[in-house]
Amino acid sequence: MKTIDIHAHVVPQSLWKAADARAEWHGFRHEAGEGLGTFVGGGMRTGFTSPKVRFTPEERLQDMDAQGVDVQVLSIHTPFFGYCLDAAQGRALARDVNDEIAATVRQFPARFSGLATLPMQDVKSAIDELEHAVTRLGLKGAELDTQVNGAQWDEPKFLPFFKAAEAMGAVLFYHPQPQNNFLRERIPRHGLFNSLGVILDDAIVTAVLICGGVLEACPNLKVCIAHGGGPACYAMGRLDRGWNRLPESRRTPQPPSAYQRRLYYDTVTGSEEALRFLLDRVGAERVVLGSDWPFVPWHPSPVTWVQNLKSLTQDEKDRILWRNLESLLGL
């Protein structure tokens, strides 16, 4: 049994080295405190719920073995995208992170693959860095926030980026920033900014990519949405109704539901019922294993969780656990 996890975060070792030296890291600074302390930057304060964010690659491999995960696809922990920086600083952060992820992949090529981070505040720089990451570093694509400093992904300035990613065969993995979620201001109670706000952001970016015509313009674009796409597939009937009611605002020749099977979605859905609903809407060939390592507790592991789901067939489990990602990432 092979198992491949597309949703596994990295807090760069270079950031921890800067913190230990009491130095700034690309606009972020460390404040000592309870546990691993807090990083401040980009208008956010980021603490950590898991000590695993300081794991070395070797420690990470031990944890993967315990969870039955053969391969992790490494990507930056989202507070450190660095979109808030100027273009030059953003390029420097991205190159630092991407070089480190690529070095880990080279050291353990049978156990790790990687996704780049990009300076999306400057589209040309982002295209250049994606090309460098894919063609020179051997990374498989990029992890992206669900917005870029308030700009949405269907804005015309991003189309050249999507065209470039499509031409490269790069995989784009969308993951929102919990620390920058809009529910923090609306209702900071009950942890809703994370439990609910994050998946609403997933649904918004799914709808934007579909309704905004990005998937129509780039039919071979490879996109995966974290957390099962949130409630996006549940809302397709409403999106279709809007498409039918407002023909003057259409940017696609087909209704939104016609495009939901062009995307991939990970398994971080929160329940078997939600995952089953997703599978029934998009097909088992579009769902892939995710863990949100190391921030979601799994008992005992995300792999065992999928293997024990009674509503899934063995073929569906095999597709989710490894077959889909082996094909999508070319592993």
Q: How confident is the model at residue 1 (pLDDT cuts 50, 70, 90)?
A: low
| DSSP, residue by residue, 156-191 | GGGHHHHHHHHHHT-EEEE---GGG-THHHH--GGG
Q: Identity (one letter) of the amino acid at 57? A: P
Beta bridge partners of 225: 174, 265
Joined together, the tokens standing for residue 77 give 């922990």
Question: Angle at the Cα of 321 (from 106 to 145), degrees rounded to 5?
Answer: 65
Closest CA to 80 of 8, 16, 28, 17: 28
> Whole-angstrom Cα distance, residue 214 to residue 155?
9
Q: Which domains does the chain have, with CATH numbers?
A: 4-12+55-329 (3.20.20.140)
Tokens 């300035």 — which residue? 157
Give the confidence band of 184 by pLDDT, cuts at 50, 70, 90: confident
- pLDDT at position 128: 98
Kindly report, residue by residue over 292-308, the tens digit of the pLDDT.
Answer: 999 999 988 999 999 99
How far apart are the C-alpha atoms of 253 and 110, rounded to whole Å? 43
The number of residues in the chain equals 331
Taking only the tens place, the pLDDT of each residue in 86-141 is 999 999 999 999 999 999 999 999 999 999 999 999 999 999 999 999 999 999 99
pTM of full prediction above 0.85: yes
Gap between the Cα atoms of 101 and 123, Å rounded: 22
Tens-digit pLDDT profile for residues 43-79: 889 998 899 999 999 999 999 999 999 999 999 999 9
Given a contact cutoff of 8 angstroms between Cβ atoms, the answer to whether 290 and 5 are in contact is yes
Using DSSP's 3-state secondary structure scheme, residue 209 falls into helix
- C-beta separation of 237 from 255 below 8 A: no
| Contact of 113 with 101, CB cutoff 8 Å | no
